[in-house]
Amino acid sequence: MIVRPDRPASVAIVGGGPGGLMTAYLLQKKSAVPLRIALYESSGRCGGKVMTPQFDSAPVRYEAGAAEFYDYSNCGAGSGAGCADDALKELIAELGLSVSPMGGQSVVMGERWLANLDDIESHFGLRVRQSLETFHGQARDRLSPWEFYCSGGMEATPVDRPGRSFESYLRQSIHGPQRKIVENLIHSDLATEPSATSVEYGLQNYLMNDPAYMRLYAIDGGNEQLIDRLRDRVAATFRLNEPVQEILPGAHGRFRVRSRPDGEPRESEYDFVIVAVPHDALGGIRFGGARLSVAMAAHRDRYDHPAHYLRITILFRRPFWRGIMVDSYCMLDRFGGCCLYDESSRSIEPGWGVLGWLLAGEQARQSAVVPDDVLIGQALDSLPRRLGNARKWFLEGRVHRWIGAVNAIPGGVAPRSLDRRHQVDPEVHSRLFVVGDYLFDATLNGVLDSADYVSDWVVAELH
Ligand SMILES: Cc1cc2nc3c(=O)[nH]c(=O)nc-3n(C[C@H](O)[C@H](O)[C@H](O)COP(=O)(O)OP(=O)(O)OC[C@H]3O[C@@H](n4cnc5c(N)ncnc54)[C@H](O)[C@@H]3O)c2cc1C
Protein backbone atom coordinates (compact mmCIF):
# COMPACT_ATOMS: atom_id res chain seq x y z
CA MET A 1 0.00 0.00 0.00
CA ILE A 2 1.45 3.36 -1.02
CA VAL A 3 -0.46 5.54 1.42
CA ARG A 4 -0.16 3.78 4.78
CA PRO A 5 -2.89 3.94 7.41
CA ASP A 6 -0.36 4.52 10.24
CA ARG A 7 0.78 7.97 9.03
CA PRO A 8 -0.81 10.91 7.23
CA ALA A 9 -0.32 10.95 3.48
CA SER A 10 2.34 13.42 2.47
CA VAL A 11 1.88 15.90 -0.36
CA ALA A 12 4.52 18.21 -1.82
CA ILE A 13 3.14 21.25 -3.62
CA VAL A 14 5.76 22.96 -5.73
CA GLY A 15 5.00 26.67 -6.22
CA GLY A 16 3.50 29.11 -3.74
CA GLY A 17 1.53 31.15 -6.27
CA PRO A 18 -2.27 31.22 -6.39
CA GLY A 19 -2.28 27.72 -7.95
CA GLY A 20 -0.22 26.12 -5.19
CA LEU A 21 -2.09 27.89 -2.40
CA MET A 22 -5.51 27.11 -3.86
CA THR A 23 -4.55 23.44 -4.22
CA ALA A 24 -3.37 23.28 -0.60
CA TYR A 25 -6.50 25.06 0.62
CA LEU A 26 -8.88 22.81 -1.33
CA LEU A 27 -7.03 19.63 -0.38
CA GLN A 28 -7.25 20.53 3.25
CA LYS A 29 -10.93 21.47 2.93
CA LYS A 30 -11.96 18.33 1.07
CA SER A 31 -9.91 15.66 2.79
CA ALA A 32 -11.49 13.73 5.64
CA VAL A 33 -8.13 12.14 6.48
CA PRO A 34 -5.11 14.02 7.85
CA LEU A 35 -2.56 15.21 5.33
CA ARG A 36 1.00 16.43 5.66
CA ILE A 37 1.41 19.20 3.10
CA ALA A 38 4.73 20.89 2.32
CA LEU A 39 4.56 23.91 0.02
CA TYR A 40 7.80 24.85 -1.71
CA GLU A 41 8.27 28.40 -2.93
CA SER A 42 11.47 29.53 -4.60
CA SER A 43 11.11 33.19 -3.61
CA GLY A 44 10.68 34.77 -0.20
CA ARG A 45 6.96 35.44 -0.69
CA CYS A 46 3.84 33.55 -1.69
CA GLY A 47 1.58 34.93 -4.40
CA GLY A 48 3.51 34.58 -7.65
CA LYS A 49 1.97 36.91 -10.22
CA VAL A 50 -0.61 38.28 -7.77
CA MET A 51 1.29 41.13 -6.22
CA THR A 52 0.12 44.40 -4.64
CA PRO A 53 3.30 46.35 -3.75
CA GLN A 54 3.65 49.91 -2.49
CA PHE A 55 5.48 52.94 -3.89
CA ASP A 56 8.49 54.37 -2.02
CA SER A 57 7.41 58.03 -2.13
CA ALA A 58 3.98 57.52 -0.57
CA PRO A 59 2.05 54.73 1.15
CA VAL A 60 0.10 53.94 -2.00
CA ARG A 61 -0.40 50.41 -3.34
CA TYR A 62 -0.94 49.23 -6.90
CA GLU A 63 -1.36 45.96 -8.78
CA ALA A 64 1.91 44.79 -10.35
CA GLY A 65 0.58 41.50 -11.76
CA ALA A 66 -3.00 40.25 -12.07
CA ALA A 67 -5.16 43.36 -12.11
CA GLU A 68 -8.70 42.10 -12.16
CA PHE A 69 -10.80 39.00 -11.63
CA TYR A 70 -13.23 37.62 -14.17
CA ASP A 71 -16.84 37.32 -13.06
CA TYR A 72 -18.79 34.63 -14.90
CA SER A 73 -21.71 34.56 -12.50
CA ASN A 74 -24.04 36.29 -14.96
CA CYS A 75 -22.90 34.13 -17.85
CA GLY A 76 -25.69 32.06 -19.35
CA ALA A 77 -28.48 34.14 -17.77
CA GLY A 78 -31.50 33.83 -20.03
CA SER A 79 -29.89 31.04 -22.08
CA GLY A 80 -32.06 28.30 -20.63
CA ALA A 81 -28.91 26.54 -19.42
CA GLY A 82 -29.04 28.33 -16.04
CA CYS A 83 -26.45 30.69 -14.61
CA ALA A 84 -22.82 29.74 -14.36
CA ASP A 85 -21.03 28.81 -11.15
CA ASP A 86 -18.21 31.15 -10.39
CA ALA A 87 -15.84 29.24 -8.16
CA LEU A 88 -13.37 32.11 -7.82
CA LYS A 89 -15.98 34.63 -6.76
CA GLU A 90 -17.32 32.08 -4.27
CA LEU A 91 -13.83 31.44 -2.89
CA ILE A 92 -13.19 35.18 -2.48
CA ALA A 93 -16.49 35.54 -0.59
CA GLU A 94 -15.71 32.47 1.52
CA LEU A 95 -12.43 34.11 2.52
CA GLY A 96 -14.39 37.16 3.74
CA LEU A 97 -13.07 39.59 1.11
CA SER A 98 -15.17 42.33 -0.44
CA VAL A 99 -14.95 43.27 -4.11
CA SER A 100 -15.79 46.21 -6.39
CA PRO A 101 -16.67 46.13 -10.07
CA MET A 102 -14.26 47.39 -12.70
CA GLY A 103 -15.19 48.51 -16.17
CA GLY A 104 -14.14 50.40 -19.27
CA GLN A 105 -15.28 50.51 -22.89
CA SER A 106 -13.21 53.32 -24.41
CA VAL A 107 -10.59 52.89 -27.10
CA VAL A 108 -8.25 55.86 -27.65
CA MET A 109 -6.87 56.21 -31.21
CA GLY A 110 -4.45 59.10 -31.41
CA GLU A 111 -6.35 61.97 -29.81
CA ARG A 112 -9.75 60.41 -30.62
CA TRP A 113 -11.59 59.14 -27.58
CA LEU A 114 -14.01 56.40 -28.68
CA ALA A 115 -16.28 55.60 -25.74
CA ASN A 116 -19.07 53.92 -27.70
CA LEU A 117 -20.40 53.16 -31.18
CA ASP A 118 -21.79 56.69 -31.56
CA ASP A 119 -18.27 58.12 -31.08
CA ILE A 120 -16.95 55.62 -33.62
CA GLU A 121 -19.59 56.68 -36.12
CA SER A 122 -18.89 60.37 -35.61
CA HIS A 123 -15.10 59.91 -36.07
CA PHE A 124 -15.02 57.19 -38.77
CA GLY A 125 -18.48 57.15 -40.35
CA LEU A 126 -21.51 54.88 -40.46
CA ARG A 127 -19.82 52.14 -42.53
CA VAL A 128 -17.18 51.53 -39.84
CA ARG A 129 -19.86 51.36 -37.16
CA GLN A 130 -21.92 48.87 -39.17
CA SER A 131 -18.92 46.74 -39.92
CA LEU A 132 -18.07 46.55 -36.20
CA GLU A 133 -21.66 45.61 -35.41
CA THR A 134 -21.51 42.83 -38.01
CA PHE A 135 -18.18 41.58 -36.61
CA HIS A 136 -19.64 41.54 -33.12
CA GLY A 137 -22.73 39.63 -34.24
CA GLN A 138 -20.61 37.04 -36.05
CA ALA A 139 -18.37 36.60 -33.01
CA ARG A 140 -21.43 36.06 -30.80
CA ASP A 141 -22.79 33.51 -33.26
CA ARG A 142 -19.58 31.52 -33.05
CA LEU A 143 -19.40 31.55 -29.28
CA SER A 144 -22.46 32.10 -27.12
CA PRO A 145 -22.02 33.27 -23.50
CA TRP A 146 -22.67 29.72 -22.29
CA GLU A 147 -20.18 28.22 -24.76
CA PHE A 148 -17.68 30.87 -23.67
CA TYR A 149 -18.18 29.82 -20.05
CA CYS A 150 -17.67 26.13 -20.91
CA SER A 151 -14.74 26.75 -23.25
CA GLY A 152 -12.04 25.51 -20.82
CA GLY A 153 -13.60 22.08 -20.37
CA MET A 154 -13.95 19.08 -22.62
CA GLU A 155 -17.64 19.72 -23.30
CA ALA A 156 -16.60 22.85 -25.18
CA THR A 157 -17.71 23.19 -28.80
CA PRO A 158 -14.74 23.98 -31.10
CA VAL A 159 -15.23 27.44 -32.64
CA ASP A 160 -12.88 26.86 -35.56
CA ARG A 161 -10.49 24.29 -36.95
CA PRO A 162 -7.48 23.72 -34.66
CA GLY A 163 -4.33 25.46 -35.77
CA ARG A 164 -5.93 28.38 -37.60
CA SER A 165 -4.60 31.68 -36.32
CA PHE A 166 -6.73 34.54 -35.05
CA GLU A 167 -4.86 36.79 -37.47
CA SER A 168 -6.26 34.82 -40.40
CA TYR A 169 -9.77 35.05 -38.92
CA LEU A 170 -9.43 38.84 -38.51
CA ARG A 171 -8.05 39.21 -42.05
CA GLN A 172 -11.15 37.51 -43.45
CA SER A 173 -13.68 39.19 -41.17
CA ILE A 174 -12.75 42.83 -40.76
CA HIS A 175 -10.73 45.55 -42.52
CA GLY A 176 -9.68 49.18 -42.27
CA PRO A 177 -9.92 51.30 -39.12
CA GLN A 178 -12.50 48.94 -37.62
CA ARG A 179 -9.88 46.19 -37.55
CA LYS A 180 -7.44 48.51 -35.74
CA ILE A 181 -10.16 49.25 -33.17
CA VAL A 182 -10.72 45.53 -32.54
CA GLU A 183 -6.97 44.86 -32.33
CA ASN A 184 -6.48 47.67 -29.82
CA LEU A 185 -9.39 46.43 -27.79
CA ILE A 186 -7.97 42.95 -27.29
CA HIS A 187 -4.19 43.23 -27.55
CA SER A 188 -3.51 43.63 -23.86
CA ASP A 189 -5.83 40.75 -22.91
CA LEU A 190 -4.23 38.42 -25.46
CA ALA A 191 -0.65 39.18 -24.32
CA THR A 192 0.43 38.09 -27.78
CA GLU A 193 -0.09 38.91 -31.45
CA PRO A 194 -3.17 37.63 -33.31
CA SER A 195 -0.82 35.57 -35.52
CA ALA A 196 0.42 33.62 -32.47
CA THR A 197 -2.92 32.65 -31.01
CA SER A 198 -5.98 30.62 -31.94
CA VAL A 199 -9.37 31.82 -33.24
CA GLU A 200 -10.90 30.49 -30.04
CA TYR A 201 -8.65 32.43 -27.66
CA GLY A 202 -8.88 35.56 -29.82
CA LEU A 203 -12.68 35.48 -29.84
CA GLN A 204 -12.83 34.78 -26.12
CA ASN A 205 -10.69 37.83 -25.45
CA TYR A 206 -12.75 39.95 -27.80
CA LEU A 207 -16.12 38.80 -26.39
CA MET A 208 -15.10 39.31 -22.78
CA ASN A 209 -15.65 43.03 -23.40
CA ASP A 210 -19.36 42.25 -23.76
CA PRO A 211 -21.02 42.25 -20.30
CA ALA A 212 -23.27 39.34 -21.35
CA TYR A 213 -20.11 37.23 -21.37
CA MET A 214 -18.16 38.46 -18.41
CA ARG A 215 -17.71 41.28 -15.93
CA LEU A 216 -14.64 42.39 -14.04
CA TYR A 217 -13.97 43.09 -10.40
CA ALA A 218 -11.08 43.64 -8.02
CA ILE A 219 -10.60 42.92 -4.33
CA ASP A 220 -11.07 45.99 -2.16
CA GLY A 221 -7.75 46.94 -0.61
CA GLY A 222 -5.63 45.01 -3.13
CA ASN A 223 -5.73 41.65 -4.92
CA GLU A 224 -2.88 40.24 -2.85
CA GLN A 225 -5.30 39.88 0.03
CA LEU A 226 -6.51 36.73 -1.69
CA ILE A 227 -3.03 35.31 -1.16
CA ASP A 228 -2.78 36.50 2.44
CA ARG A 229 -6.14 34.94 3.34
CA LEU A 230 -5.31 31.64 1.66
CA ARG A 231 -1.95 31.53 3.39
CA ASP A 232 -3.51 32.18 6.77
CA ARG A 233 -5.92 29.29 6.31
CA VAL A 234 -3.53 26.69 4.93
CA ALA A 235 -1.94 24.42 7.52
CA ALA A 236 1.10 23.45 5.47
CA THR A 237 4.81 23.63 6.08
CA PHE A 238 5.82 26.66 4.04
CA ARG A 239 9.27 26.22 2.59
CA LEU A 240 10.00 29.74 1.38
CA ASN A 241 13.23 30.53 -0.47
CA GLU A 242 13.42 26.85 -1.30
CA PRO A 243 13.41 26.28 -5.06
CA VAL A 244 12.69 22.72 -6.13
CA GLN A 245 15.41 21.60 -8.49
CA GLU A 246 14.66 17.97 -9.10
CA ILE A 247 11.78 15.50 -8.77
CA LEU A 248 12.61 11.81 -8.99
CA PRO A 249 10.54 8.66 -8.81
CA GLY A 250 11.22 6.94 -5.48
CA ALA A 251 10.38 3.52 -4.04
CA HIS A 252 6.74 2.26 -3.88
CA GLY A 253 5.38 4.93 -6.22
CA ARG A 254 6.58 7.78 -4.01
CA PHE A 255 8.63 10.78 -5.16
CA ARG A 256 11.85 12.33 -3.98
CA VAL A 257 11.89 16.11 -4.09
CA ARG A 258 15.28 17.80 -4.15
CA SER A 259 15.37 21.46 -3.18
CA ARG A 260 17.97 24.01 -2.23
CA PRO A 261 17.15 26.13 0.83
CA ASP A 262 19.87 28.75 1.47
CA GLY A 263 22.08 27.11 -1.12
CA GLU A 264 22.15 23.80 0.80
CA PRO A 265 20.74 20.67 -0.89
CA ARG A 266 17.78 18.93 0.78
CA GLU A 267 15.82 15.82 -0.22
CA SER A 268 12.40 14.75 1.09
CA GLU A 269 9.98 11.96 0.07
CA TYR A 270 6.27 12.32 -0.59
CA ASP A 271 3.28 10.19 -1.56
CA PHE A 272 1.98 12.83 -3.96
CA VAL A 273 3.65 15.67 -5.81
CA ILE A 274 1.69 18.54 -7.32
CA VAL A 275 3.73 20.80 -9.58
CA ALA A 276 1.94 24.17 -9.45
CA VAL A 277 4.44 26.32 -11.31
CA PRO A 278 3.70 28.26 -14.51
CA HIS A 279 4.79 26.85 -17.83
CA ASP A 280 7.94 29.00 -18.03
CA ALA A 281 9.16 27.62 -14.67
CA LEU A 282 8.73 23.93 -15.55
CA GLY A 283 12.06 23.99 -17.38
CA GLY A 284 13.82 24.99 -14.14
CA ILE A 285 12.98 21.63 -12.56
CA ARG A 286 14.73 18.41 -13.59
CA PHE A 287 12.43 15.41 -13.73
CA GLY A 288 14.44 12.26 -13.09
CA GLY A 289 13.97 8.82 -14.57
CA ALA A 290 13.89 8.32 -18.33
CA ARG A 291 10.13 7.87 -18.55
CA LEU A 292 9.15 10.83 -16.38
CA SER A 293 11.61 13.20 -18.04
CA VAL A 294 10.31 12.29 -21.52
CA ALA A 295 6.68 12.68 -20.37
CA MET A 296 7.39 16.06 -18.82
CA ALA A 297 9.27 17.25 -21.93
CA ALA A 298 6.21 16.32 -24.05
CA HIS A 299 3.95 18.18 -21.62
CA ARG A 300 6.13 21.29 -21.83
CA ASP A 301 6.17 21.14 -25.64
CA ARG A 302 2.39 20.88 -25.81
CA TYR A 303 1.84 24.11 -23.86
CA ASP A 304 4.85 26.02 -25.15
CA HIS A 305 3.14 29.19 -26.38
CA PRO A 306 4.82 31.99 -24.43
CA ALA A 307 3.14 35.37 -24.14
CA HIS A 308 4.40 38.51 -22.46
CA TYR A 309 3.42 41.41 -20.27
CA LEU A 310 5.17 44.48 -18.97
CA ARG A 311 3.56 46.85 -16.53
CA ILE A 312 4.54 50.51 -16.05
CA THR A 313 2.84 52.09 -13.05
CA ILE A 314 3.15 55.76 -12.17
CA LEU A 315 2.22 57.60 -8.99
CA PHE A 316 0.97 61.19 -9.42
CA ARG A 317 0.26 63.79 -6.78
CA ARG A 318 -3.34 63.92 -7.97
CA PRO A 319 -5.57 62.10 -10.49
CA PHE A 320 -5.42 64.93 -13.04
CA TRP A 321 -7.26 62.86 -15.71
CA ARG A 322 -10.56 62.59 -13.80
CA GLY A 323 -13.43 64.18 -15.62
CA ILE A 324 -12.16 62.86 -18.96
CA MET A 325 -11.20 59.30 -18.11
CA VAL A 326 -14.00 58.10 -15.84
CA ASP A 327 -13.76 54.31 -16.12
CA SER A 328 -11.34 51.88 -14.42
CA TYR A 329 -9.41 51.53 -17.66
CA CYS A 330 -9.33 52.31 -21.37
CA MET A 331 -7.40 50.92 -24.34
CA LEU A 332 -4.68 53.11 -25.87
CA ASP A 333 -3.32 52.58 -29.38
CA ARG A 334 0.20 53.37 -28.04
CA PHE A 335 2.79 50.62 -27.38
CA GLY A 336 1.15 48.46 -30.06
CA GLY A 337 -2.16 48.56 -28.17
CA CYS A 338 -2.08 48.66 -24.38
CA CYS A 339 -4.52 48.89 -21.50
CA LEU A 340 -4.31 52.05 -19.39
CA TYR A 341 -5.61 51.46 -15.87
CA ASP A 342 -6.74 54.18 -13.54
CA GLU A 343 -5.31 52.29 -10.59
CA SER A 344 -6.58 54.97 -8.24
CA SER A 345 -10.17 54.18 -9.28
CA ARG A 346 -9.81 51.13 -7.03
CA SER A 347 -9.62 53.65 -4.16
CA ILE A 348 -6.90 51.72 -2.41
CA GLU A 349 -5.57 54.98 -0.97
CA PRO A 350 -7.78 57.92 -1.99
CA GLY A 351 -6.38 61.30 -3.00
CA TRP A 352 -3.38 60.15 -5.00
CA GLY A 353 -3.40 59.39 -8.69
CA VAL A 354 -2.01 56.13 -10.10
CA LEU A 355 -1.99 55.11 -13.76
CA GLY A 356 -0.85 51.70 -15.00
CA TRP A 357 0.11 50.80 -18.58
CA LEU A 358 -0.17 47.10 -19.42
CA LEU A 359 2.06 46.45 -22.44
CA ALA A 360 1.52 43.11 -24.10
CA GLY A 361 2.97 40.65 -26.62
CA GLU A 362 5.90 41.63 -28.84
CA GLN A 363 5.93 45.19 -27.56
CA ALA A 364 6.31 43.96 -23.96
CA ARG A 365 9.09 41.57 -24.99
CA GLN A 366 11.01 44.26 -26.84
CA SER A 367 10.49 46.85 -24.08
CA ALA A 368 11.81 44.44 -21.45
CA VAL A 369 15.40 45.43 -22.29
CA VAL A 370 14.68 49.17 -22.12
CA PRO A 371 15.74 50.86 -18.83
CA ASP A 372 12.98 51.77 -16.38
CA ASP A 373 13.43 55.55 -16.62
CA VAL A 374 13.13 55.45 -20.42
CA LEU A 375 9.94 53.35 -20.24
CA ILE A 376 8.46 55.68 -17.64
CA GLY A 377 9.21 58.67 -19.91
CA GLN A 378 7.59 56.87 -22.87
CA ALA A 379 4.51 56.14 -20.76
CA LEU A 380 4.16 59.79 -19.73
CA ASP A 381 4.48 60.85 -23.37
CA SER A 382 1.91 58.29 -24.50
CA LEU A 383 -1.01 59.94 -22.73
CA PRO A 384 -3.51 61.79 -24.92
CA ARG A 385 -2.86 65.54 -24.56
CA ARG A 386 -6.40 66.26 -23.47
CA LEU A 387 -5.83 64.40 -20.19
CA GLY A 388 -3.49 67.14 -18.98
CA ASN A 389 0.17 67.67 -18.11
CA ALA A 390 1.31 64.34 -16.65
CA ARG A 391 4.90 65.46 -15.92
CA LYS A 392 3.68 68.26 -13.69
CA TRP A 393 2.10 65.78 -11.24
CA PHE A 394 4.66 62.95 -11.57
CA LEU A 395 6.06 61.47 -8.35
CA GLU A 396 7.40 57.95 -8.98
CA GLY A 397 7.33 55.20 -11.59
CA ARG A 398 7.71 51.42 -11.32
CA VAL A 399 8.23 48.76 -14.00
CA HIS A 400 7.42 45.03 -13.70
CA ARG A 401 8.50 42.66 -16.46
CA TRP A 402 6.58 39.43 -17.04
CA ILE A 403 8.27 37.99 -20.09
CA GLY A 404 7.13 34.49 -21.09
CA ALA A 405 5.07 34.40 -17.90
CA VAL A 406 1.64 33.81 -19.49
CA ASN A 407 0.29 31.57 -22.23
CA ALA A 408 -0.75 32.56 -25.76
CA ILE A 409 -2.78 29.41 -26.50
CA PRO A 410 -3.93 28.21 -23.11
CA GLY A 411 -5.32 24.69 -23.14
CA GLY A 412 -3.06 23.88 -26.11
CA VAL A 413 -3.76 23.87 -29.84
CA ALA A 414 -5.95 20.77 -29.51
CA PRO A 415 -7.31 20.57 -25.95
CA ARG A 416 -6.84 17.28 -24.14
CA SER A 417 -9.12 15.60 -21.62
CA LEU A 418 -8.92 17.15 -18.16
CA ASP A 419 -7.28 13.97 -16.83
CA ARG A 420 -4.50 14.07 -19.40
CA ARG A 421 -3.90 17.77 -18.87
CA HIS A 422 -3.19 17.19 -15.20
CA GLN A 423 -1.14 14.00 -15.31
CA VAL A 424 1.94 13.86 -17.46
CA ASP A 425 2.37 10.09 -17.11
CA PRO A 426 -0.86 8.52 -15.81
CA GLU A 427 0.34 4.95 -16.46
CA VAL A 428 3.37 4.88 -14.22
CA HIS A 429 3.52 8.18 -12.30
CA SER A 430 -0.12 8.53 -11.42
CA ARG A 431 0.57 10.45 -8.22
CA LEU A 432 2.38 13.29 -9.89
CA PHE A 433 0.06 16.08 -11.00
CA VAL A 434 0.43 19.47 -12.62
CA VAL A 435 -1.70 22.51 -11.80
CA GLY A 436 -1.64 25.61 -13.96
CA ASP A 437 -3.64 28.38 -15.61
CA TYR A 438 -1.93 27.41 -18.89
CA LEU A 439 -4.08 24.23 -18.90
CA PHE A 440 -7.28 26.33 -19.04
CA ASP A 441 -7.57 30.03 -19.92
CA ALA A 442 -4.41 31.61 -18.46
CA THR A 443 -6.35 33.31 -15.65
CA LEU A 444 -6.92 32.93 -11.94
CA ASN A 445 -10.27 31.32 -12.70
CA GLY A 446 -8.39 28.76 -14.78
CA VAL A 447 -5.81 27.99 -12.13
CA LEU A 448 -8.59 27.54 -9.57
CA ASP A 449 -10.36 25.08 -11.89
CA SER A 450 -7.09 23.23 -12.21
CA ALA A 451 -6.48 23.19 -8.43
CA ASP A 452 -10.06 22.02 -7.87
CA TYR A 453 -9.67 19.17 -10.33
CA VAL A 454 -6.40 17.91 -8.88
CA SER A 455 -7.52 18.24 -5.27
CA ASP A 456 -10.66 16.19 -6.05
CA TRP A 457 -8.50 13.55 -7.58
CA VAL A 458 -5.98 13.32 -4.75
CA VAL A 459 -8.77 13.18 -2.18
CA ALA A 460 -10.49 10.41 -4.14
CA GLU A 461 -7.23 8.41 -4.11
CA LEU A 462 -6.80 8.95 -0.40
CA HIS A 463 -10.31 7.86 0.47
C1 LIG B 1 0.81 41.29 -15.83
C2 LIG B 1 -0.16 40.19 -15.60
C3 LIG B 1 -1.50 40.48 -15.57
C4 LIG B 1 -2.43 39.47 -15.32
N5 LIG B 1 -3.73 39.81 -15.24
C6 LIG B 1 -4.63 38.89 -14.89
C7 LIG B 1 -5.97 39.26 -14.68
O8 LIG B 1 -6.33 40.41 -14.84
N9 LIG B 1 -6.86 38.29 -14.31
C10 LIG B 1 -6.48 36.99 -14.13
O11 LIG B 1 -7.32 36.16 -13.78
N12 LIG B 1 -5.19 36.62 -14.32
C13 LIG B 1 -4.27 37.53 -14.69
N14 LIG B 1 -2.97 37.17 -14.86
C15 LIG B 1 -2.62 35.75 -14.74
C16 LIG B 1 -2.50 35.31 -13.26
O17 LIG B 1 -1.55 36.10 -12.63
C18 LIG B 1 -2.13 33.84 -13.26
O19 LIG B 1 -3.23 33.10 -13.77
C20 LIG B 1 -1.79 33.27 -11.88
O21 LIG B 1 -0.84 34.03 -11.21
C22 LIG B 1 -1.27 31.84 -12.06
O23 LIG B 1 -0.96 31.30 -10.81
P24 LIG B 1 0.16 30.17 -10.67
O25 LIG B 1 0.21 29.82 -9.23
O26 LIG B 1 -0.08 29.09 -11.64
O27 LIG B 1 1.52 30.86 -11.15
P28 LIG B 1 2.33 32.05 -10.50
O29 LIG B 1 1.44 33.14 -10.08
O30 LIG B 1 3.39 32.38 -11.48
O31 LIG B 1 2.99 31.42 -9.20
C32 LIG B 1 3.93 30.38 -9.31
C33 LIG B 1 4.85 30.37 -8.09
O34 LIG B 1 5.75 29.26 -8.22
C35 LIG B 1 7.04 29.66 -7.79
N36 LIG B 1 8.03 28.76 -8.39
C37 LIG B 1 8.44 28.72 -9.69
N38 LIG B 1 9.36 27.76 -9.86
C39 LIG B 1 9.54 27.17 -8.66
C40 LIG B 1 10.37 26.10 -8.17
N41 LIG B 1 11.20 25.44 -8.99
N42 LIG B 1 10.30 25.76 -6.87
C43 LIG B 1 9.46 26.41 -6.02
N44 LIG B 1 8.67 27.44 -6.41
C45 LIG B 1 8.70 27.80 -7.72
C46 LIG B 1 7.14 31.11 -8.24
O47 LIG B 1 8.11 31.81 -7.50
C48 LIG B 1 5.72 31.61 -7.99
O49 LIG B 1 5.59 32.15 -6.70
C50 LIG B 1 -2.01 38.13 -15.12
C51 LIG B 1 -0.65 37.84 -15.18
C52 LIG B 1 0.26 38.85 -15.42
C53 LIG B 1 1.72 38.52 -15.47
| CATH code, domain carrying 279 | 3.50.50.60
Q: Which atom of ligand 1 is nearest to the CA of 281?
A: 38
* Chain centroid to CA 58: 28
Check residue 95 and give its pLDDT. Answer: 98
Assess whether the C-beta atom of 383 lies below 6 angstroms from ligand 1.
Answer: no
Check residue 1 and give its pLDDT. Answer: 43
Best of 22, 49, 186, 244 for a ligand 1 pocket test (most atoms within 8 Å of beta carbon): 49
Residue 404's identity, in one-letter code, is: G
Residue 64 is classified by DSSP as S
Assess whether the C-beta atom of 257 lies below 6 angstroms from ligand 1.
Answer: no
Q: Which atom of ligand 1 is nearest to the CA of 444?
A: 11
Residue 85, in any domain of the structure:
no
Residue with CA at minimum distance from ligand 1 atom 36:
15
Residue 277, in any domain of the structure:
yes
Residue 214, in any domain of the structure:
no
CA torsion 335→337→338→342, rounded to 10°? 110
Neighbouring CB atoms inside 10 A of 16's CB total 30
Contact 337, 331 (CB under 8 A): yes
Assess whether the C-beta atom of 65 lies below 6 angstroms from ligand 1.
Answer: yes
d(CA 95, CA 147): 29
Best of 39, 205, 230, 277 for a ligand 1 pocket test (most atoms within 8 Å of beta carbon): 277
d(CA 204, CA 354): 29
Q: Which atom of ligand 1 is nearest to the CA of 400?
A: 1
Check residue 157 and give its pLDDT. Answer: 65
Q: How does 49-77 read in b/e, with b if 16+ C-beta sit within 10 Å?
A: bbbbeebeeeebbbbbbbbbbbbbbbbbe
Residue 404, in any domain of the structure:
no
Assess whether the C-beta atom of 145 lies below 6 angstroms from ligand 1.
Answer: no
Q: Which atom of ligand 1 is nearest to the CA of 402?
A: 53
- The residue among 88, 40, 61 whose CA lies nearest residue 451 is 88
Q: Which atom of ligand 1 is nearest to the CA of 19?
A: 25
Assess whether the C-beta atom of 68 lies below 6 angstroms from ligand 1.
Answer: yes
Check residue 24 and give its pLDDT. Answer: 98
Assess whether the C-beta atom of 408 lies below 6 angstroms from ligand 1.
Answer: no
CA 183, 309, 362: angle at the middle one, nearest 5? 55
Q: How far does the centroid of ligand 1 lie from the alpha carbon of residue 196, in Å?
A: 21
Residue 109, in any domain of the structure:
no
Assess whether the C-beta atom of 361 lies below 6 angstroms from ligand 1.
Answer: no
Residue with CA at minimum distance from ligand 1 atom 28:
48
* Chain centroid to CA 49: 8
Check residue 351 and give its pLDDT. Answer: 83
Residue 441, in any domain of the structure:
yes
Write out the chain's pLDDT in tens, 463 residues: 455 667 899 999 999 999 999 999 999 999 999 999 999 999 999 999 999 999 999 999 999 999 999 998 877 665 555 566 899 999 999 999 999 999 998 999 999 999 999 999 999 999 999 999 999 999 999 999 988 888 777 666 667 777 899 999 999 999 999 999 999 999 999 999 999 999 999 999 999 999 999 999 999 999 999 999 999 999 999 999 999 999 999 999 999 999 999 889 999 999 999 999 999 999 999 999 999 999 999 999 999 999 999 999 999 999 999 888 989 999 999 999 999 999 988 766 678 999 999 999 999 999 999 999 999 999 999 999 999 999 999 999 999 999 999 999 999 988 889 999 999 999 999 999 999 999 999 999 999 999 999 999 999 999 8
Q: How far does the centroid of ligand 1 lie from the alpha carbon of residue 442, in Å?
A: 9
Q: How far does the centroid of ligand 1 lie from the alpha carbon of residue 50, in Å?
A: 7
Q: How does 180-218 read in b/e, with b if 16+ C-beta sit within 10 Å?
A: bbbbbbbbbbbbbbbebbbbbbbbbbbbbbeebbbbbbb
Q: How far does the centroid of ligand 1 lie from the alpha carbon of residue 437, in Å?
A: 8
Q: Count structural domains, the chain.
A: 1
Q: How far does the centroid of ligand 1 lie from the alpha carbon of residue 405, in Å?
A: 7
Assess whether the C-beta atom of 243 lies below 6 angstroms from ligand 1.
Answer: yes
Check residue 82 and give its pLDDT. Answer: 56
Q: Which residue range forms the structural domain that includes residue 254?
A: 9-50+223-305+411-462
Residue with CA at minimum distance from ligand 1 atom 30:
48
Residue 62, in any domain of the structure:
no
Residue 415, in any domain of the structure:
yes
**Entry pTM:** 0.95
Assess whether the C-beta atom of 274 lies below 6 angstroms from ligand 1.
Answer: no
Assess whether the C-beta atom of 282 lies below 6 angstroms from ligand 1.
Answer: no
Check residue 347 and give its pLDDT. Answer: 67
